[in-house]
Amino acid sequence: CKSKKLTLGEPQLAYDGKWLKYYKPKNSEGSDAPAETPKFGGVIIFPIATDPETNEKIILVEKIFRIPVQKYCIELPAGVRDPHEFDATVTALRELKEETGYIGQNPRVTSVVRSDPWKSTASHAQVFVDVDLTLPENQNPVAELEADEDITPMWLKVKTLKTELESLAKELDADIDQRVYAWALGISRFL
């Protein structure tokens, strides 16, 4: 099977929004080949804790309203890098605090991956963060949400993450983001 190489002409800026730029490049046949380019890199955060009551590993997910699909989605905490931030760990700790109120520790960047390479140049760093639920600052966390954000954090068991996500999605009539579901599916296959 031979692959036909796609060559692109000079892209035209069609939209310059708060977080994304939208370009309309032309493919080798002269047709539009739209692509979104993020203005800044992002992070996907894997906040892991030990449940103080059961001693089980738990992961923090969010119920967040997503305007494009007009419904709630269950996702991992995430966000974009501020222009002055040059380290994904700084972004991850800031976003975790802003979106959930929790203070994370020991951030570890595992890799930088493409988000949706079929439609976008977006990439994000995957950052694992420890959350110590016994610390006073994590007892009654208060998120620092922007006016247009509707986010509810929820702790789920790592061991039964796939089942819990599916039940929660049904109960809330919410969609599940592919990143957290892929991770949950992998865990369910090997535990």
The predicted-structure confidence for 106-120, as pLDDT tens digits, reads as follows 999 988 888 777 777
Name the residue with higher pLDDT: 9 or 49: 49
Amino acid (1-letter code) at residue 64: I
- How far apart (Å, rounded) are the C-alpha atoms in residues 48 and 113? 20
- How far apart (Å, rounded) are the C-alpha atoms in residues 57 and 157? 6
- In the chain, what is the straight-line distance between the N-terminal and C-terminal CA atoms, in Å? 37
- pLDDT on residue 27: 53
Residue 5 has pLDDT above 50, yes or no: no
Q: What is the pLDDT of residues 30-71, one digit of tens each?
A: 555 555 555 557 899 999 999 999 999 999 999 999 888 889
Q: What is the pTM of this model?
A: 0.82
Bridge-based pairing of strands 42-50 and 123-130 is parallel
CA torsion angle for 172, 173, 176, 177 (degrees, to 10)?
-100
Residue 102 has pLDDT above 70, yes or no: yes
Residue 168 has pLDDT above 90, yes or no: yes
- pLDDT on residue 31: 58
| Mean pLDDT value across residues 20-36 | 59
